Amino acid sequence: MTTPDTALTPLIRAQDLHLHFGGLAALSGVSFDIFPGEIVALIGPNGAGKTSALNCLNGFYRPQRGHIYFEGRDLTRVPTHRVPRLGIARTFQNIALYTGLTTLDNLMAARHIYMKQGMLASACFWGPARREEIEHRLVVEKIIDFLEMEHIRKSVVGSLPYGLRKRVELGRALALEPKLLLLDEPMAGMNVEEKEDMARFILDIHERRGATIVLVEHDMGLVMDIAHRIVVMDFGVKIAEGSPDEIKHHPEVIRAYLGKAERRDGGGE
């Protein structure tokens, strides 16, 4: 696995993020940097604020305070629908696909941000519109090849098993040609074989496509195996950050996951 150069300027920088839903503080002063070429995992118990942080990174949520800079540009000032054009794509904890369309059509839907022909030209499907369609179809076919989905390319997504739908969603994110790929629990609900396949695809995306990856994941074995760096959250606060080895032995992380250890002599701390 390629080791990223943390001497570089961060690809994305989150500074002092505060996100509140009424009286609930989802994020309280969270800051972290993601460097080009990294695989960074956001971990923490349920309700720690991991998905909220991910939603802020792609503009789905707007923090009440703080800033997010992507390649030096303040994302908090960018309309949500323009974020994918900057090079940020994501998958969701709950699969969000067009279930009545085929695998191929779902991936083609992600290419619309690159299409330049108008509605009339596309309806006629001739000349420039036809050439454009062919170009984007080639990109999608390469992704289908890459993720080993040839056997389901014409299958309606709603009829596919859960693990394959997760793979289709990953393919749709790749169709946006992201510099930064955000993965929200990509292994959730999968069996062991499906998890192994997904882990292999994530590593291949990092190695062969050069994507920087941020993932939220509860499978600690996977996180420790593939992440360069881990950010640990609890109750909307960042409690630790470091390499897998550092995080594994960090007392605050152990406390967050396992609770405070009781002394064997029965005394308090």
pLDDT in tens, the chain (269 residues): 555 555 679 999 999 999 999 989 999 999 999 999 999 999 998 889 999 999 999 999 999 999 999 999 999 889 998 999 999 999 998 888 999 999 999 999 999 888 765 555 455 555 566 777 888 999 999 999 999 999 999 999 999 999 999 999 999 999 999 999 999 999 988 889 999 999 999 999 999 999 999 999 988 888 999 999 999 999 999 999 999 999 988 998 888 776 654 433 444 43
pLDDT score, position 266: 43
Residue type, 194: E
- Contact at 8 Å (CB) between 47 and 11? no
Strands 88-91 and 180-184: parallel
Backbone φ and ψ of 84, nearest 5°: -60, -30
Task: Give the amino acid at 152.
Answer: I
Whether residues 136 and 56 fall in one domain: no
In a domain, 171, yes or no: no
Query: Is the Cβ–Cβ distance between 99 and 158 less than 8 Å?
Result: yes
Q: How far apart are CA 83 and CA 158, in angstroms?
A: 27
Report DSSP state, residue 213.
E
Q: Measure the CA–CA gap between 100 and 130, rounded to whole angstroms.
A: 24
What pLDDT score was predicted for residue 124?
53
Other C-beta atoms within 10 Å of 129: how many? 19
Same domain, residue pair 226 and 248? yes
45 plus 159 within the same structural domain: no
Residue 13 tokens read as 């920088």
CB atoms within 10 A of CB 260: 10
- Boundaries of domain holding 44: 1-87+178-262
Type and span of the H or E element at 26: strand 24-34
Query: What is the number of domains present in the chain?
Result: 2
- What does the pLDDT read at residue 118? 53
* Eight-state DSSP code of residue 102: B
Whether 93 is covered by a domain: the verdict is: no
Q: Indicate if 252 and 202 belong to the same structural domain.
A: yes
94, part of any domain: no
Quick check: helix, strand or coil at residue 207? helix
For residues 83 and 104, state if they share a domain: no
Question: Do 250 and 209 share a structural domain?
Answer: yes
* Residue 1 belongs to some domain of the structure: yes
Question: In terms of domains, do 114 and 160 share one?
Answer: yes
At 66, give phi and psi (nearest 5°). Answer: 100, 175
The pLDDT assigned to 216 comes to 95
Query: Both tokens of residue 59?
Result: 């503009």
Instruction: Examine residue 258 and state whether it is found in any structural domain, yes or no.
Output: yes
CB 85: neighbour CB atoms within 10 A? 11
Of the candidates 21, 16, 25, which has an alpha carbon nearest to the alpha carbon of residue 234?
25
User: What is the reported pLDDT for 93?
Assistant: 85
pTM over 0.75: yes
- 133-152 b/e with 16+ CB inside 10 Å = b? beebeebbeebbeebebeeb
Last residue of a domain, one of 114, 140, 165: 165
